Structure 1
Amino acid sequence: MTLKYQKAQYTPLVPAKHKVKENTKKFASIVLCFWLTSILMGIAIYFTNFLELVSYSSKEILEHQLYMDDIVINRAALNGYLINTAGCKIPEMNPFDASVKAFVSKPDMMVCNKNIPPLFDSNLTSIYLVEPALKHYNISNSTELTCCYKSFWREDPKGSDNDKQMKFSENCTNIEDFSAYIIDEFIKVTCDYETKQIYEDYFAFVPKKRNESIDRSDRLKPNILIVGLDAVSRVNFHRQMPRTLGYLVNKLGAVEMLGYNKVADNTFVNLMPVLSGHFVDELKQTCWPNDTVRFDDCSFLWNNFSDKGYATTFGEDCAWMGIFNFVKRGFGKQPVDYYYSPYSWITENAIGNDKDFNCELCLGGRKVYSTALDYVSKVVQTMAIDSQPHFTFFWTVSLSHDYLNYPSLGDSTYYNFFKRLKDDGLIENTVVVFMSDHGIRWGDIRQTYQGQLEERLPFVYIVVPDWIRTEYPKSFANLKRNSRRLTTPFDLHETLKSFLHVESLGKEKVTVDYSSRSYSLFDEVPANRTCESAEISAHWCTCQQSVDVNVSDASVIEAAQFAVGYMNDQLRGYAQCVKLTLDDILNARLLYHTEKEIEKGNDLKDYTVTIRTTPGEGVFEATVRVKNNVFTAVTGTVSRLNLYGKQSSCMTDFHLKLYCYCDSLLKTF
């Protein structure tokens, strides 16, 4: 059957060639008419966009366009592509493209604790009563109010226990005059009024744990601060958080990695290359053989920096579904000096509220993500006071994991977070990485071509201290050049490792391994780098050109059936899961391969199909490879595009939860 192709959505923009007219008056009139027509069309488009994007002002859209004009040095040379190299072409995408505008909106503001504010607050070393809040608790006589606090700490989990074990002190220390100096790391505050408990709250502090202070003039130990915002594509970051974007680029001089391509499906499998330099399957061969084993035997970046005298911090909010916790066992021994995740898990269970699908959005009267950033600020400030070099890795999930538009609610908070750090002089000798792991992985936008690309292209911004830019100009020039090359989480790992020996930035490499899957971003990434050489499977690769294919095409149908068969093969041996059946093919694309593959004599085709299965109406996206007219494999993994909720509650394997529909659900109908 002949394939029927629709026009590709992203086609290189070919500059028009104009002939010079001899009659200049006629030419001038043509130009004048052209510009008048363009202006009228522009006005019409503006008002169309205004009506369709009621929630976004024209100023926001214009500011984004001006920013894009600034970062793309030679738009003509890029021909409509954000990355345009010999090995990779990634199309430029408009955050407000017509294909995705319907999914963009301003969400309702979060309401924490029914708008009842916290009764206590904290600074670096103390807790104190917030007197204006008394009226919200109907406290008319503060002499009747008594408050105390208990310290608590992490205990090593045993057996199959989750990594959230905490032990509380038996005594509750009275808070005299409604303020107290705290020497503990974690505390629980309770208050009674007229013999009844009316308040419960939790606070985290950063007590000194190391004595590795350095001379403030010693710049060879730059701090490392990595702040993650889960499930936000580069394009959606532009769309949702323009204030933070503007501050990073214009005030901090951040370099945006425009071609940063994820290498696997979800958070865990994309952050393992960053933290360990390995794929998950490689970890299974060395230090983490299965899901029941804890991660203590694996080496992560914080171990390398700890060996160099750095204080180390790792934390995340919504920790029950955290990087090392979701259907996994976490750590036995505490992995870093300051370990926030168990605290997050315990406190969100205790006073979390305004839960929206997966995560509690509030911790008492505070937003969860805001509380997490306040803790990071405490870490950075404490390390600066103690002249202690630090490696801090913090991942925020609650704001952005579940919904495309929620990041806009945190724009001002993240903007203020970075602004305070800079204004207070806390990051002058700090490498700052602000990043995500992937774009939104489900929802209606994922069934568009742009949504598919966005999901594979998370945002990454890198800020380096001024002295590194000055002393190692070639390395910094490479970083900027690489912002327009295909890059991966493995490259970010190598880049962070380079700060263990900063002086190495000034050393020329005698030879460059052009077949390597990872490069420091301070070395030039080859322009002919392909997804294949970067070890990005075709399913996740955004470099390949593709076209729409008719869903009734025989090859598409065969690809869809192959994908369903693949999922059923993965579920074989799990009797609790029902066999899946193809229900519908929603869309399909044919991916082109490089001339290099053709020269090898390989007749390769990759079909990316979006399908729906029964039972459960799961929507999946799979890339199926055809070699010499034979369907041979699913590349990468099969992506789940809609939420599965409790459909897979009978499955404990975190990979297979995406596919499993529990047999017990059929028996309930």
Structure 2
Amino acid sequence: MLDHSGYKIGVVIAVSVLVFIPILYYNNDFLDRRTIFFTTESDEVYNESKYLVATPKCKIPNLDPFEAEILKFYKPMKYISCSKRDFLTHVTKNDNIATIHINTNAVPSQLREHISCCMASITRSKNKEKPDDSIRISACKDFTDNTTLTHDFIMVKCIDLKTKKQIYENTHAAITQTKQIKAKITSMNTSATSPFSVLFVGIDSISRLNFIRALPQTYQYLEENAWIPLRGYNKMGDNTFPNVMAIMTGFNESKTYRVCNPSSLGQMDKCPMMWFDYQKLNYVTGYAEDEAPISTFNYKKKGFTKPPTDYYFRPYMLGSERLKAVRRDGMAYCTGPETAGERVLNIAKDFSESFKDVASFSFFWTNTFSHNDLNLPSGMDRKIRDFLEDIAAKGVLDNTIIFFLSDHGIRFGEIRYTHTGWLEERLPFIYISVPDRFKRQFPSEFRNLETKRDHLTTPYDIYMTLQHILVLSGLNYTQKPSDGCPKCASLFAQTESERSCEDAAIEPHWCTCGGYNPVPKTNQTVQNAAKFVVGQIEERIRARNGASKCAKFSVGRIITARVSERFSYKSDVYFLVVMETRPRAVFEATVLWKGEAQFELTGGISRLDKYAEHSRCVEEAYLKMFCYCR
């Protein structure tokens, strides 16, 4: 929930710094050539260090991560362990056989002879209505010292025989090779190609700027080891789902819902995800994500009716979340004695090391320590750096192209009322590691990637890159354009640096290429724009049959209002409005001004306050964003 006192102070500060801009702005009496955002004058010189991207069509400011307006939100945290003791059990692998061991040294000596442990398997159950949310945990069978795993996912419990009390419970995931996986590997090894693997490691809701602030050790490691950042990487949709689906399918959100409708059982199985393309070409595939209730393909969605990848860790994560949980900021930070985020990193490490010499495509995503809190990631800094150092030491980087990224910055809370917060939400961090073998084999393609660090880029470009990797790997694969962005191209392809948000299929509401100037909130055009936005919200509620459950909104107060600066190549005028409504919700919208009191919505409407408590009366994710229950 928002802090009302802090909110009021923020509003006062925001209003006090607004610069008076008369309505003559729109008659060009207020603007002369020097105040136009970009001009065509050949003698104009820009200081590029001030910009992440600086072209005639796109100019993204390079803000200080420790801007004064942001420092009040910055509170670094220390790592919090979920267990005071070492784990009582651990798993080893030898010759494709996984074994669980009891580590009696993890408990006081007086207890060692009085411990009894049992192991149960965790499997996906055959639930026709909720196949992706249902698991079966078998009967728990006793074992002593160690025993061989008969399933990849297990739950273990230990009791004190004297008191009959449970003293330990945990889950483990082991990666062993089935006959089908061995056949894939054999088929790929006998081919004439030498394919590159792909590894995605994603952390939800971390902007480029907050990455520098909250994960300084990780940032330093990436910079020192020449991982390539895409500093102008701009999201194309509101939350995780559209941005990930743009990477995986090349679709925008509306096309995704038409073709892959996640609200309909079985449709995601038919969706043309890139991991299916890799799978068909004998790549070993894997996917894991924590916080199962809100995971990318399952939050208010049906998920998959059958495992979408060769190694699908959702049953393991569901089983882990049945352990004793410690919640932080609404997320299951601890699942038993281990943080949920570390479970994902450990799976990613095990998978990538197990298949480091095999063609693989894997996607690992963590939400629990970043989704709801700006500062919580700072406690995981050392853990994330250790993970990257470990996979590098084990040779994973020798054959694997790694995308280390986020989907967007933090989307809620008072930081979003600031100009820096607006920019941060739209510019997630992303770093790419390319094997030395790739650099030697494809020097031109690698140089093209290096040039992209200061270009405007999007998730659609990653989609095109994933296709290009298959071609460069020498496989029989034909690239196809991105449906959502026909002009987008692979990061390894040579492209023009002069690119607009229109070229990159980024809607004006998400576009960071243009500047905005403050406008007085009393400006009549701003007032009209706010009323227009409220009308658009009401239309969306009615369209989803929510009017009987959701309260009717009216404009309360305008928190900030800005007007777009001008590009030389177009003359559109946009208003960016952040407002509080009655009943109390906070919305942000970008509207195209068409003269007088005429407006057009350009992209989505953002909800900036935490609204879970106020939207429990409706189930649909889209409607929740607009609803304030009566």
Q: TM range, normalised to the smaller chain? A: 0.7 to 0.9
Does the Cα contact within 8 Å between 2:36 and 2:566 map onto a contact in 1?
Answer: no
| Equivalent position of 1:20 in the other structure | none
| Equivalent position of 1:483 in the other structure | 453
Q: 1:536 aligns with which of 500, 503, 506?
A: 506
Matched, 1:338 2:311: yes
Distance 1:110 1:500, change over 3 A: same
| Equivalent position of 1:367 in the other structure | 339
Shift of the alpha carbon at 1:132? 3.4
Alpha-carbon distance in structure 1 between the residues aligned to 2:340 and 2:251: 31
Secondary structure at 1:462 match in 2: strand
Q: Which moved more, 1:217-226 or 1:526-535?
A: 217-226
| Equivalent position of 1:634 in the other structure | 601
Matched, 1:658 2:603: no
Alpha-carbon distance in structure 1 between the residues aligned to 2:619 and 2:510: 25
Shift of the alpha carbon at 1:291? 5.2
Matched, 1:127 2:74: no
Distance 1:419 1:219, change over 3 A: farther
Distance 1:289 1:189, change over 3 A: closer
Matched, 1:230 2:211: no
Matched, 1:296 2:269: yes
Q: 1:420 aligns with which of 358, 372, 390?
A: 390
Does the Cα contact within 8 Å between 1:287 and 1:298 map onto a contact in 2?
Answer: yes
Secondary structure at 2:268 match in 1: coil
| Equivalent position of 1:166 in the other structure | 135
Alpha-carbon distance in structure 1 between the residues aligned to 2:76 and 2:420: 20
Alpha-carbon distance in structure 2 between the residues aligned to 1:455 and 1:288: 26
Matched, 1:153 2:92: no
CA deviations over 1:356-402 (Å, ceiling 9, x no partner): 23311112121111121111111112223xx4321110001111111
Q: 2:165 aligns with which of 183, 191, 196?
A: 196
Shift of the alpha carbon at 1:633? 2.0
What letter matches 2:454 in structure 1? R
Q: 1:239 aligns with which of 195, 202, 213?
A: 213
What letter matches 2:270 in structure 1? D
- Within a 5 Å distance, the mapping from 1:478-517 to structure 2 comes to 478-502=448-472, 516-517=486-487
Distance 1:436 1:141, change over 3 A: closer
Matched, 1:395 2:362: no
Distance 1:607 1:292, change over 3 A: farther
Matched, 1:327 2:327: no
CA deviations over 1:256-309 (Å, ceiling 9, x no partner): 001100011001111110111111210222232745664111121110100110
Shift of the alpha carbon at 1:537? 0.9
Shift of the alpha carbon at 1:351? 2.7
| Equivalent position of 2:229 in the other structure | 256
Secondary structure at 1:192 match in 2: strand
CA deviations over 1:439-489 (Å, ceiling 9, x no partner): 011122111101100110001111111111112111111111111111100
Distance 1:655 1:149, change over 3 A: same
| Equivalent position of 2:325 in the other structure | 352
Secondary structure at 2:107 match in 1: helix
Matched, 1:549 2:526: no
Shift of the alpha carbon at 1:156? 4.2
| Equivalent position of 1:221 in the other structure | 195
- Within a 5 Å distance, the mapping from 1:258-273 to structure 2 comes to 258-273=231-246
Q: Which runs of 5+ in 2 are unaligned?
A: 1-20, 39-44
Alpha-carbon distance in structure 1 between the residues aligned to 2:24 and 2:577: 15
Shift of the alpha carbon at 1:221? 1.1
Alpha-carbon distance in structure 1 between the residues aligned to 2:222 and 2:532: 45
Distance 1:321 1:634, change over 3 A: same
What letter matches 2:213 in structure 1? R
Shift of the alpha carbon at 1:129? 2.3
Distance 1:117 1:564, change over 3 A: farther
| Sequence identity percentage | 33
| Equivalent position of 1:649 in the other structure | 616
| Equivalent position of 2:58 in the other structure | 88
Alpha-carbon distance in structure 2 between the residues aligned to 1:80 and 1:151: 55
What letter matches 2:230 in structure 1? M
Shift of the alpha carbon at 1:343? 2.0
Q: Which moved more, 1:491-500 or 1:519-528?
A: 519-528
Alpha-carbon distance in structure 2 between the residues aligned to 1:152 and 1:526: 51
Distance 1:265 1:530, change over 3 A: same
Does the Cα contact within 8 Å between 1:86 and 1:527 map onto a contact in 2?
Answer: no
Distance 1:470 1:239, change over 3 A: same
Does the Cα contact within 8 Å between 1:11 and 1:80 map onto a contact in 2?
Answer: no
Matched, 1:590 2:563: yes
| Equivalent position of 1:118 in the other structure | 87
Distance 1:141 1:530, change over 3 A: closer
Alpha-carbon distance in structure 1 between the residues aligned to 2:608 and 2:579: 10
Shift of the alpha carbon at 1:504? 7.1
Distance 1:216 1:473, change over 3 A: farther
Q: 1:306 aligns with which of 279, 299, 310?
A: 279
Alpha-carbon distance in structure 1 between the residues aligned to 2:437 and 2:56: 33
Shift of the alpha carbon at 1:79? 5.7
| Equivalent position of 1:605 in the other structure | 573
Query: In angstroms, what is the RMSD of aligned CA positions?
Result: 2.8
Shift of the alpha carbon at 1:215? 4.4
Does the Cα contact within 8 Å between 1:118 and 1:364 map onto a contact in 2?
Answer: no
Does the Cα contact within 8 Å between 1:219 and 1:429 map onto a contact in 2?
Answer: no
Alpha-carbon distance in structure 1 between the residues aligned to 2:194 and 2:56: 36
Distance 1:491 1:650, change over 3 A: same
Alpha-carbon distance in structure 2 between the residues aligned to 1:584 and 1:476: 50
| Equivalent position of 1:287 in the other structure | 260
Matched, 1:430 2:400: yes
Matched, 1:464 2:434: yes
What letter matches 2:329 in structure 1? F
What letter matches 1:346 in structure 2? G
Distance 1:371 1:80, change over 3 A: same
| Equivalent position of 1:54 in the other structure | none
Secondary structure at 2:233 match in 1: coil
Shift of the alpha carbon at 1:141? 3.8
Matched, 1:176 2:148: no
Q: Which moved more, 1:203-212 or 1:413-422?
A: 203-212
Structure 2 length as normaliser, TM-score? 0.87
Distance 1:334 1:157, change over 3 A: farther
Q: 1:381 aligns with which of 346, 353, 373?
A: 353
Structure 1 length as normaliser, TM-score? 0.82
- Within a 5 Å distance, the mapping from 1:52-67 to structure 2 comes to none
Q: 1:278 aligns with which of 251, 255, 262?
A: 251
Alpha-carbon distance in structure 2 between the residues aligned to 1:644 and 1:3: 35
Does the Cα contact within 8 Å between 1:591 and 1:607 map onto a contact in 2?
Answer: yes
What letter matches 1:197 in structure 2? Q
Shift of the alpha carbon at 1:342? 3.0
Shift of the alpha carbon at 1:133? 2.3
